[in-house]
Amino acid sequence: MKRSLAIIFSMVLVFSLLPTVYGAAPTAKENYYSVLFTTESIPKDFEQQVKSLGGKIAYSVPEIGFVQVKAPATAFTKLKGFAGVSAASPSITWDLPKSQRIEEGVKTTTTTKGKKDTATTTAAASLWGKQWDIKRITNNGESYKLGTGSHDVVVGIIDTGIDRDHPDLVKNLLPGSKNFVPPGGFRDTEANETGDPNKFDDVHGHGSHVAGSIAGKGAMLGVAPDTGIRSYRVFGTSSAESAWIFEAMIAAADDGVDVLSMSLGGFDVIGQIFSVDPATGEKTNLGSDIADFKAYKRVVNYVTKKGSLIVAAAGNDGINATNKSGVTDFLNKEYGGDGLYFVGAGFEVPGTLPGVISVSATGPKDVLANYSNYGPGFIDIAAVGGDARLYDRYASEGRFSEYLAQRLFETEFNLSASEDGGWYWSIGTSMATPKVSATAALLIDKYGKMSPDKLEDLLYKKGVDPVTGTEQAYFGNGNLNAYNALR
């Protein structure tokens, strides 16, 4: 966990899947703005002030004094100047990635369907033989003999929702899951989104996959197959707003969730971001006073003070995230074609924020995954998330059909639950993160409730195969080991 870091400019945030795909960064034309107040409350007259500019409040997070405003671009300067405003900037959006997934065509059922929960045994899980990643973390299932968790401990999954009827997930899905996607979805582009808080069903698959790695119990097994889980949906099929993520994190903490599992990641820049309108050539300085990032810090503080540990993905860009100029060069390469360029030092978020555990991904034999971000002082812990070396090689050689026919993905991808009652294979720091979250939950179940700081320290002390020296840049305190955690 990072103890201190001053970051000024917040950039694009995305899910951590392979391949990494970044969404559009804020430009001068955008008419959605994030506003953070100096106090953790919203002034009573602010809504009327916004209306006077021809705008409206699109979303608010009163717990931290944050609102998102929809207003004409000409109103932005006046918006920043309102009394009580600490920071205002174009809103950052979070984009779903164009993720690689390979469907598992096997049709199977759980042997415990319709029966009371029984002791967790690998023999009862028909897909156990394919779960090389979970085998590694549980010492081939030996950790299940020491502990499988309980519903006294809850992991909150900030993600795309969950398949509430999935036979491998339903046993551990506790009441209280919520949806934070408002009516109309992302900027009124998703007509199917009604804003119903009970509509937390997964339409993407990412959230269900994460949930299976944590608490799957049926045809597949998670790291903690008797631990309680709760879903906090912040995505539909399109982009999401930072405000939705913030409110979901706060709600999870208020619900008493013990661990927040966040397979999310992105970058901040200390410096300036510029945009050039491709039609007019007009150059705009997007500034360095970003409300979203400052609000994110407030949310993390809120959550940790409530007693919830935050675990987040380190990202899938294959870069040294502590090389500040290198990160900035990476961003310029990614966004140069969009008329954006950056001056300053780049940082990955939320992993660099105080109060967040940053997770890198490993493939077979505990080798750093070829897509995983890394960096000394940035990575806190490593966990199995799968690799893409064979995938990339066969694809580059034009032999991808062979890769699929020989099912080589079974040797490097991770299998988990899908959004439609089945299973699929995927890789990423998104797949590593929930395994760390699950192991933290197992520690709470064994040793009792404790502060996030103490839980983190216990995780590094008992729940890893430790590493030293230069390996810490890739694996932090070590490689996740749930069996060690429970011994």
In a domain, 4, yes or no: no
Same domain, 56 and 119: no
Relative to beta strand 464-466, strand 423-426 is unpaired
Q: Is residue 1, in this structure, part of any structural domain at all?
A: no
Residue 5 has pLDDT above 60, yes or no: no
> Going edge to edge, which strands form the sheet with 259-262?
178-179, 228-233, 154-159, 259-262, 309-313, 356-362, 381-384, 478-480, 464-466
Whether 253 and 366 map to the same domain: the answer is yes
Residues 82 and 98 in one domain: no
Tell me, what CATH number does 139's domain have?
A: 3.40.50.200
Top mean-pLDDT range of 85-89, 158-162, 341-345: 158-162
Q: How far is 314 from 375, CA to CA, in rounded Å?
A: 10
Number of compact structural domains in the chain:
2
**Lowest mean per-residue pLDDT among 3-12, 403-412, 451-460:** 3-12
Answer whether residue 30 is part of any domain.
Answer: no
- Note whether 332 and 478 are same-domain residues: yes
Give the residue-averaged pLDDT of 438-461. 98
CA dist., res. 385 & res. 372, Å (int): 9
Residue among 240, 232, 286 nearest 262 (CA) = 232
pLDDT > 80? residue 284: no
Give the CA distances from residue 97 to residues 1, 19, 383, 438, in Å, rounded to whole numbers and listed in that order.
26, 8, 21, 24
At 342, is the pLDDT very low, low, confident or very high (cuts 50, 70, 90)? confident
pLDDT tens digits for range 113-143 = 434 445 677 999 999 999 999 999 999 999 9
Query: Is 45 an annotated catalytic residue?
Result: no
Give yes or no: residues 44 and 159 share one domain: no
Predicted local confidence at residue 289, as pLDDT: 54
> Does 204 participate in catalysis according to the annotation?
no
Of 159, 168, 202, 292, the active-site residue reads 159
Residue 451 falls within a domain, yes or no?
A: yes
3-state helix, strand, coil split of the chain in percent (to 5) is 30, 25, 45
* Given 91, 163, 168, 206, the catalytic residue: 206
Q: Do 217 and 171 form a contact (C-beta atoms < 8 A)?
A: yes
Residues 62 and 109 in one domain: no
Domain identity same for 84 and 99: no
Residue with tokens 């760390």: 436
pLDDT band at 20 (very low <50, low <70, confident <90, very high): very low
Give the tens place of pLDDT for each residue, 224-276. Answer: 999 999 999 999 888 889 899 999 999 999 999 999 999 976 776 667 777 77
Same domain, 166 and 118: yes
- Decide if 166 is inside a domain: yes
* Residues 130 and 80 occupy one common structural domain: no
Q: What integer is the mean pLDDT of 276-290?
A: 70
- Say if 32 falls within a structural domain: no
Nearest C-alpha neighbor of 132 from the set 306, 363, 323 = 363
**What confidence tens digit (pLDDT) does each residue in 63-81 have?**
999 999 999 988 988 998 9
**pLDDT for res 116:** 42
Residue 209 annotated among the catalytic residues of the structure: no
Q: What is the DSSP annotation of 306-371?
A: TT-EEEEE--SS-SBTT-HHHHHHHHHHHHGGGTEEEEEEEEEETTTSBTEEEEEEE-GGGPBPTT
- Whether residue 455 lies inside any domain: the answer is yes
C-beta of residue 50 within 8 angstroms of C-beta of residue 311: no
Last residue of a domain, one of 49, 72, 88: 88
> Do 385 and 462 have their domain in common?
yes
Domain encompassing residue 387: 9-23+94-486
The dihedral region occupied by 245, where left means phi > 0, alpha psi between -120 and 50, and beta the remainder, is alpha
Burial class (CB in 10 A: 0-12, 13-18, 19+), 419: buried
Q: Do 116 and 234 belong together in one domain?
A: yes
Q: Which residue has the higher pLDDT, 68 or 339?
A: 68
Residues contacting residue 114 through CB under 8 Å, at least 6 positions apart: none
Are both 174 and 322 inside the same structural domain?
yes
